[in-house]
A and B are shown apart, each in its own frame.
Chain A
Amino acid sequence: MENSYILETHNLRKSFGGLVAVADVSLRVKPRTLHSIIGPNGAGKTTFFNLLSGNLQPTSGRVIFKGLDITGIPAYRTAHLGIGRSFQITNVFPNLTVEENVRLAAQSLGHDNFKFWSHYLHYSHYQERAREILEQVGLADQARLPASLLPHGGKRKLELGILLAADPELMLLDEPTAGMAREEIPRLMEVIQQIRQQGDKTIMLVEHKMDLVMNVSDWITVMHQGRVLAEGAPAEIAANEVVQAAYLGDLYGDLSEGMA
């Protein structure tokens, strides 16, 4: 039974001085599902992601990925283990072209990183991979543009593209639609749905757009002040009165309406 979860955390805790950002979160993620984490600002969602991806060291607790204890492993190694991470605040290589952004991500997991004597275009499979990905996320036309010149929505797509290029088993998406124009969101969600339908990836999603979360998630964890407030399928969460009262109702209005 132990291995039926791709990711487990045991009493994962992170405190910054006196502030406890993540307080003893124990969570289990089933493989090939879309598991959303919701919660108000400051609930500790991003910090939790940072603990999973190795950007931050936990104060205590453990992270188990595919049966392997990866607690405190640095970010550049979690990437090789199959954990990909996108960022809430756009975090790309601004002066490199869109294609190069994605190509680098593809290159990173190959075995050619230290071949300093040959030209990088010699390894054309990374480029082909990059083009495929750009096609998939809808940035093929902007491939030659420096990433800094992309509009915000484009950068969000690029963020997703960088993540996909490494073909991770577990994708941590930190508010992929943050700051995106409303009309651009469906296109991005389409990409996420596509990834789901391929059926080989596990996605963890932090998102504020509640209608979106309710529609795509298999499982939802609600965090509040660093703790897990509730867990369940979307319908359960929507119906959960504690969640309703403590948080959802205030911020997002009546959920049952969105579900209808």
Chain B
Amino acid sequence: MQVSLSRRWQKIFSGRGAQGWVYLAVFALLALFPLIAGLTIGNPQAASEGAGFFEGLLQRAESGYAKFWQGMLIQMLILSIFAMSYDILLGYTGILSFGHAMFFGTGGYAIAILIGQHFNWPFFQALGAVVVIAVLQSLIFGILSLRVKGVYLTMVTLAFAEMFFILAEAGDFRQYTGADDGLHGFPVPAYLSATEHRTRFYYLALILFVLVFLAARRLINSPTGRVMIATRDNENRAMMIGFNTFWYKLIAFVAAGVFAALAGALSALFNVSVTPATLTTFRTIDALAMTIIGGVGTLIGPILGAGIIQLLGYWLERWFGANWTLIYGIIFMLIVVFLPYGIVGTLRRRSFGWKAGWARWKQLLTGKAAPG
């Protein structure tokens, strides 16, 4: 029984031998993280007197560094969902979108406005609406932008996202969107408050993350997903063997849009604020950078990338102050030069080489092609 159960889990998580166990181990670690953090870096005084061990552990998890690092992980999980959704487009369908923040930001605004004073919708109804809005939005803008290809598509998606950014910033809708300031302090249900119940919110983020991961992986490994990959590889030929690639790209667009909107909504709930900044190209570039660092065309890559960028951002800012982005830029360049397929991609191809990387680096600095 034990064995067959774990086999089943392994199958759910990977279907491919040892890798499944790695996924399972990482998942277990993530699931136990609040308790481990409570035990190691939580404030021992936070446990109330007379509380049992487990209860005390949970109370300690809500304190000090344990709480802080859970917050970090929540943001990593949110960014991971966002980056994975981006990679469905970029890595699996070959669509370079510069407007992906549109879905992230709209998801955040949608939940904030719907549970806010004007609508007062119950939380789950609002969450359902976020999904519906994301589907409609991605259908409309997918149909419009997928009429063109390549760099034109990139530009069109950029324009659409800017449109939403301008809408969010516009003074005309100030009572709904808060214009420049965005929305803050909207009534997130008390049971979901990330300040009061950090651990609970952490598990919410973790569950959503796992669900999105499994859904994305199932999509990619479905007959539909195989056609997406074929479209990325050689769209012309995919048409020639009878696939109307437009529909497959649209499905990728919708899936990516919905996942990004969920990430955006979760981010808004966590921060209890949403600002026009969530709709900017910078947000899209974040996802792009995470995907590239981790490995385009993998799902683990964007997750790793999201984690690395979140951690780098935190540490670099602590060490270098306001100018941390300079260091970050240099690190990003080094990663791109030495790990051209991202971390996961380079590992899978076993194509890491100091020499080749060094040659590319010299070429970058001198502008001359390396000999040979």
Contacts and interface: CB of A to CB of B under 8 A. Distances in A.
Interface stretch (A12-20, A118-126, A194-202, A235-243): A118-126
B251 A116 contact: yes
A123 B240 contact: no
Interface string A221-234: 00000000000000
Nearest to B229: A96
A80 to B, nearest CB: 5
A165 B223 CA distance: 16
A79 B237 contact: no
B193 interface: no
A64 interface: no
Contact of A76 (B222, B225, B233, B245): B245
B256 to A, nearest CB: 13
Contacts of A87: 237, 240
A162 B233 CA distance: 15
Nearest to A81: B242
B218 A76 contact: no
Contact of A113 (B15, B224, B234): B224
A162 B230 contact: no
Contact of B239 (A75, A95, A162): A75
Interface string B196-221: 00000000000000000000001101
B273 to A, nearest CB: 34
Given A114-B224, A115-B223, A93 B242 contact: no
B35 interface: no
A223 to B, nearest CB: 22
B222 A118 contact: yes
Contacts of B224: 113-116
A200 to B, nearest CB: 19
B244 interface: yes
B242 A91 contact: no
Contacts, number: 95
Interface residues of B, number: 26
B237 A96 contact: no
Interface residues of A, number: 37
A162 B52 CA distance: 65
Nearest to B248: A113
Interface string A67-80: 00000001111011
A96 B233 contact: yes
Given A91-B237, A92-B237, A119-B218, A166 B242 contact: yes
Contacts of B184: none
Interface string A87-126: 1000111111000100111011100111111111101000
Interface string B238-254: 11111111010001000
Nearest to A53: B240
A55 interface: yes
A103 B221 CA distance: 13
Contacts of B48: none
B236 interface: yes
A94 B229 CA distance: 11
A74 B239 contact: yes
A76 B239 contact: yes
A157 interface: no
B174 interface: no
Of B225, B229, B240, most A-chain CB atoms within 10 Å: B240
A117 B220 CA distance: 10
Contacts of B241: 79, 104-105, 108, 162, 165-166
A115 B229 CA distance: 15
B240 A75 contact: yes
B227 interface: yes
A231 to B, nearest CB: 28
B7 interface: no
A120 B227 CA distance: 10
Contacts of A114: 223-224, 247, 251
A204 to B, nearest CB: 15
B239 A120 contact: no
A93 B251 contact: no
A85 interface: yes
Nearest to A115: B223
B63 to A, nearest CB: 42
Given A79-B241, A104-B241, A166-B241, A96 B221 contact: no
Interface of B: 15, 218-219, 221-227, 229-230, 233-234, 236-245, 247, 251
6 contacts: A74-B244, A76-B245, A79-B242, A91-B234, A104-B227, A113-B224
Given A79-B242, A117-B218, 20 more contacts: A53-B240, A76-B242, A76-B243, A76-B244, A79-B240, A79-B241, A85-B240, A91-B234, A91-B237, A92-B237, A93-B233, A93-B234, A95-B233, A104-B227, A104-B241, A115-B223, A116-B224, A119-B218, A120-B221, A162-B237
Q: Which 10 A-B pairs have the closest CB atoms?
A: A79-B242, A108-B242, A116-B224, A93-B233, A116-B222, A105-B241, A76-B244, A76-B239, A112-B223, A120-B223
